[in-house]
């Protein structure tokens, strides 16, 4: 389950990259899981996951 701020990040990425919300949600969750495994600190995970997802979809459009 995503927090409100994570939902807002996901919605913003979907809007900015003209990508379906579900695709962005799935990519965000995947990025989150990857980053979480390596992270010592989890405070910045939402921003790092959002950056990764945003870059991924910008390359596609």
pLDDT of residue 39: 86
pLDDT band at 19 (very low <50, low <70, confident <90, very high): very high
Number of domains in the chain: 1
Model confidence at 21: pLDDT above 70: yes
Domain carrying residue 25: 4-60
pTM confidence score? 0.84
Model confidence at 20: pLDDT above 70: yes
What letters, b where the CB count within 10 A reaches 16 and e where it falls short, cover 26-40? ebbeebbeebeeeee
Residue 3 DSSP one-character state: -
Question: Which pLDDT tens digit goes with each residue over 26-36?
Answer: 999 999 999 99
Of 31, 9, 32, residue with least CA distance to 21? 9
């Amino acid at each position: 389950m995503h927090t409100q701020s994570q939902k807002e990040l996901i919605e913003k990425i979907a809007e900015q990259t003209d990508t379906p919300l579900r695709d962005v949600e799935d990519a965000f969750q995947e990025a989150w899981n990857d980053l979480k495994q390596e992270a010592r600190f989890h405070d910045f995970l939402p921003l790092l996951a959002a950056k990764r997802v945003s870059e991924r979809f910008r390359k596609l459009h």
